[in-house]
């Protein structure tokens, strides 16, 4: 029966909160594991209350030697699910209310200063090939919106809204961009993208030299090459551009909850990691 509850919970994450497919898949995996544990414990008949079962579940996670981040995520998934169960009237009390939320120490984040980003962009600008123009557009869009690399390469032409100056990630999440970028994107769609398009049925926004959708591995190699030429070494990754976006938004006064929505984070704790870095200029 709880499987139906999980399906309803995940449907809400997708339709009402606009979470990405990757995030929803992580929730599903976590909750499937949780339900399997609960079922096994109930069949053993040794523990009767959900509260005791969940405490036992936390101990089991630690025994399995998951990373601190993975354990924290699984606990957060359980908390979110049972909060939904109470809110929807499926159960009366939240059995996770006494379950501690785990704190995870974060590794130091890497950011690009405006000068460093311009150096990276300048490497792509040195070439006039269709691929280089595509690369510049991808770097500009990634730096301006903070998309995940998987989201960037998954974009289709229809996802770019030049009238509203935003990119649609899914039905509930959209990320706005400045009018300057809208002009650049418009030119890219009318001209540069067509230089790599061999089949008009292809919907992908960013294409490789064979006219197919560029892969995340392909874009990773592109960034790595430009970073090396710009003298930035291993400092630059697609995630670095995402981090830089998040820090700039906080520095400009964006509220944490709004940034969470822009980044598509499932948990506000994932967004809070940028708070300390926002106090440093760069």
Catalogue all structural domains in the chain, each as residue range(s) with its CATH number. Answer: 2-87 (1.10.150), 114-279 (1.10.443.10)
Mean pLDDT to the nearest integer, 149-169: 95
Among 51-65, 74-88, 175-189, 258-272, name the most confident range.
175-189
pLDDT (tens digit per residue) in 23-50: 888 889 999 999 888 888 877 765 567 7
37 compared with 160, residue with greater pLDDT: 160
* pLDDT given for residue 46 in this prediction: 57
Q: pLDDT above 90 covers what percent of the chain? A: 52
- pLDDT over threshold 80, residue 68: no
Q: How many CB atoms lie within 10 A of CB 8?
A: 13
Alpha-carbon distances of 254 from 99, 109, 113, 261, 275, rounded to whole Å: 31, 19, 19, 11, 11
- Tokens 């501690």 sit on residue: 100
* pLDDT given for residue 50 in this prediction: 74
Q: CA torsion, points 172, 28, 23, 268, in degrees to nearest 10?
A: 90
Mean pLDDT to the nearest integer, 133-156: 95
* pLDDT given for residue 140 in this prediction: 96
Mean pLDDT to the nearest integer, 173-177: 93
Q: How many CB atoms lie within 10 A of CB 180?
A: 11
- pLDDT over threshold 60, residue 58: yes
* pLDDT given for residue 93 in this prediction: 87
Phi, psi of 175, rounded to the nearest 5 degrees: -120, 120
* pLDDT given for residue 57 in this prediction: 83
Average pLDDT over the chain reads 87
* SS3 of residue 204 by DSSP: strand
* pLDDT given for residue 62 in this prediction: 77
Mean pLDDT to the nearest integer, 215-234: 89
139 compared with 50, residue with greater pLDDT: 139
pTM, two decimals, is 0.65
């Amino acid at each position: 029966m709880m499987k139906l509850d999980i399906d309803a919970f995940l449907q809400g994450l997708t339709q009402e909160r606009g979470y990405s497919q990757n995030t929803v898949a992580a929730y599903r995996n976590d909750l499937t594991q949780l339900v399997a544990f609960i079922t096994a414990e109930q069949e053993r008949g040794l523990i009767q209350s959900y509260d005791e079962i969940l405490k036992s579940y936390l101990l089991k996670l630690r025994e399995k030697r998951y990373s601190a981040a993975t354990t924290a995520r699984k606990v957060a998934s359980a908390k979110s699910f049972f909060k939904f169960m109470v809110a929807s009237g499926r159960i009366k009390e939240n059995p996770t209310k006494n379950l501690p939320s785990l704190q995870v120490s974060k590794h130091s984040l890497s950011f690009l200063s405006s000068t460093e980003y311009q150096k990276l962009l300048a490497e792509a600008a040195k070439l006039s090939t269709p691929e280089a123009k595509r690369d510049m557009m991808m770097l500009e869009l990634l730096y301006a919106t903070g998309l995940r690399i998987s989201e960037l390469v998954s974009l289709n032409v229809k996802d770019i809204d030049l009238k509203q100056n935003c990119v649609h990630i899914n039905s509930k999440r959209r990320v706005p961009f400045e009018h300057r970028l809208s002009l650049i994107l418009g030119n890219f769609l009318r001209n540069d993208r067509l230089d790599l398009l061999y089949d008009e049925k292809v919907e992908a926004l960013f294409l490789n030299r064979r006219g197919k959708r560029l892969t995340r591995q392909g874009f990773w190699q592109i960034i790595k090459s430009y970073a090396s030429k710009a003298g930035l070494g291993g400092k630059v990754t697609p995630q670095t551009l995402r981090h830089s976006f998040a820090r700039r938004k906080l520095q400009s006064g964006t509220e944490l909850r709004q940034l969470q929505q822009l980044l598509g984070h499932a948990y506000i704790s994932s967004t809070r990691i940028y708070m300390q870095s926002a106090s440093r200029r760069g």
